[in-house]
Amino acid sequence: MSIAVGIDTGTQSTKVVFYDYAVRKIAAEASAPHELVSGDDGTREQEASWWTTAIVDCFRQVPADIRRRVTALGVSGQQHGFVPVDAEGKVLRPVKLWCDTSTPGECRELTEAYGGREKLLAGPGNLILPGYTASKILWLKHNHPDLYKRMAKILLPHDYINWYLTGSYTMEAGDASGTALLDVRTRTWDRELLKALDPERDLLELLPEIISAGEPAGYVTEKTAEELGIPAGIPVACGGGDNMMGAIGTGTVEDGFLTMSLGTSGTIYGYSDKPLIDPEGYLAAFCSSTGGWLPLLCTMNCTVASEQTRALFKRGVKEFDAIAGTAPAGAEGVLMLPYFNGERTPNFPHGKACIVGMNDRNMSEANIARAAMESAIFGLRMGLDSFNRLGFQAREVRLIGGGANSPLWRQIAADILDLPVAVPEIGEAAALGGAVQALWTKELLDGRQTDIGDLAREHVKLDGSKACRPDPDASAVYEKAYRNYSAYTEALSGLFS
């Protein structure tokens, strides 16, 4: 009985790891894909039932003897998704996801109703941006007033999965801070902002209790235990958003480390033992799921750029990397602004992708391919700049996501950020983070006052063969290229906002 399970329900799939903490190895893992409903207005939605179906599918892929050894579970979920449920726990409509950009009007309306941008940063600590949950709630009120009236609980994706596992409604500060409704300094709901969202209804009654990091969200019900083939009554950790769980799964639970994720979206975040509010609003002032804070920058377009470019040139992944690798750092001046899905940082909900800087000498497949890869890191470099302005002293970047598998991308990241890059041995960082948090919760319940930092150091190992150090010559080239990238972004901003 030494298996902790981490469940990571993301945009594209659900991944589950069965982590044997006695021998510090993954005993089994499984995944199942999700569909995505998209609309030209920026709509990005999924059915909540797809997640639970995928979870059941994943568990049934794992041998029964391993499932019977499970002692605790922890859930990672895509942040910001809006799961409205009625009094019986029925989900009222498809879930608007983190990448849904259909609510810029609601963002403006709610910002004005509260008193403006500066008041938001001084109060709850986060701006109201497309993708955050707050604007989605107002969207439901505007577009489906009948469903809004029936709504009895406001949940996030990982909260809904915790409810499926335990039958209990809870939230924790990390994921809750991504709603933009939480005062991140006090970890309490901002009543004035809730009132601005709905002056007539007390939305506080619809928000679950916020439990502390390390507390269990509940215990696995008999029904779910039978469905998944695991013991009933075992604890489910509080869980968190995918970035919060990724922080645990990369060891970013103490000052000095940054985690950067190169996936469909891109994120860069670091642990802080005090609230870190960015006056420019680029860094989201999130809480961590370990009792601290997790300032974070998110871009909606990361590997999207390389995937779109790869499809255009009809290349395989390794072939695309090889071609991009023949171009020099900086792609001879070719730059890509990768706003294929609009963008959250910078706040360009109507952004479009552009290729700029081309002339009759540098327009080549290799330069365009490399520019696509570089654009993902340039977008996240904005986050590093914000960390630097706020006095955060970064020592190392822990790289995760699909892009971390590319040697070229790892070196590009080290050179653009001018920081050493390390890669965890276990690539499914959010799922591993869920498993480590589950182990932490079990230890606390068993009366052992275990520190999450000690657990992370014990169970998160780095792959030395994938480490990269910045090349000074390349970093100098990228410093100039990044200034050009920023200048093009500024020049075209009027078309995107």
For the segment 350-367, what is each residue's pLDDT rounded down to a tens digit? 899 999 999 999 999 999
pLDDT at 496: 85
Three-class SS state of 479:
helix
pTM above 0.75, yes or no: yes
pLDDT at 265: 85
Q: Which of 80, 17, 72 is nearest to 441 (CA)?
A: 72
Determine the distance from the C-alpha atom of residue 310 to the mean position of all C-alpha atoms in its chain, rounded to a whole number. 24
Q: Are 339 and 353 in contact (CB under 8 A)?
A: yes
**What tokens does 45 get?**
């939605």
Give the pLDDT band (50/70/90) at residue 497: confident
Superfamily assignment of 3-243 in CATH? ATPase, nucleotide binding domain (3.30.420.40)
Give the pLDDT band (50/70/90) at residue 198: very high
Which H or E element spans position 456?
helix 452-459
pLDDT at 253: 94
Q: Residue 346, preceding bond cis, omega within 30 degrees? A: yes
- Can you give the C-alpha Rg of the chain in angstroms? 22
pLDDT single digits (tens) 301-319: 999 999 999 999 999 999 9
pLDDT single digits (tens) 457-472: 999 999 999 999 999 9
Q: Which of 242, 278, 321, 415 is catalytic?
A: 242
pLDDT single digits (tens) 137-176: 999 999 999 999 999 999 999 999 999 999 999 999 999 9
Q: Does 242 qualify as catalytic in the annotation?
A: yes
pLDDT at 341: 85
How many whole angstroms separate alpha carbon 5 and alpha carbon 51? 16
Give the pLDDT band (50/70/90) at residue 349: confident
Q: Which residue has the tokens 């009236």?
A: 149
For the chain, what is the largest distance between any 2 Cα atoms, rounded to a whole number of angstroms?
A: 69
Q: Which of 204, 11, 202, 208 is nearest to 95 (CA)?
A: 11
Three-class SS state of 185:
coil
Three-state helix/strand/coil letters over 403-452: HHHCHHHHHHHHHHHCCCEECECCCCHHHHHHHHHHHHHHHHHCCCCCCH
**What tokens does 88 get?**
């019986």
> What percent of the chain is modeled with pLDDT above 70?
100
* DSSP, residue by residue, 344-395: TTTTBTT---EEES--TTT--HHHHHHHHHHHHHHHHHHHHHHHHHTT----
pLDDT at 281: 86
Tally the C-alpha atoms within 13 A of residue 191's C-alpha that lie toward its C-beta. 2
Residues 6+ apart with CB under 8 A from 272: 255, 292, 293, 294, 295, 392
What residue ranges of the chain are covered by domains with CATH 3.30.420.40?
3-243, 252-423+467-497
**What tokens does 28 get?**
């089994």
91 DSSP assignment:
B
Backbone angles phi, psi at 356, to 5 degrees: -130, 170
End-to-end CA distance of the chain: 54
pLDDT at 350: 85
Does the domain at 252-423+467-497 match CATH 1.20.58.100? Answer given as: no
pLDDT at 394 over 80: yes
Q: Residue 144: is it exposed, middle or buried by C-beta count within 10 angstroms (0-12/13-18/19+)?
A: middle
pLDDT at 255: 82
> What percent of the chain is modeled with pLDDT above 90?
92
Q: What is the mean pLDDT of the chain?
A: 96
pLDDT at 131 over 90: no
Q: What is the mean pLDDT of residues 93-113?
A: 96
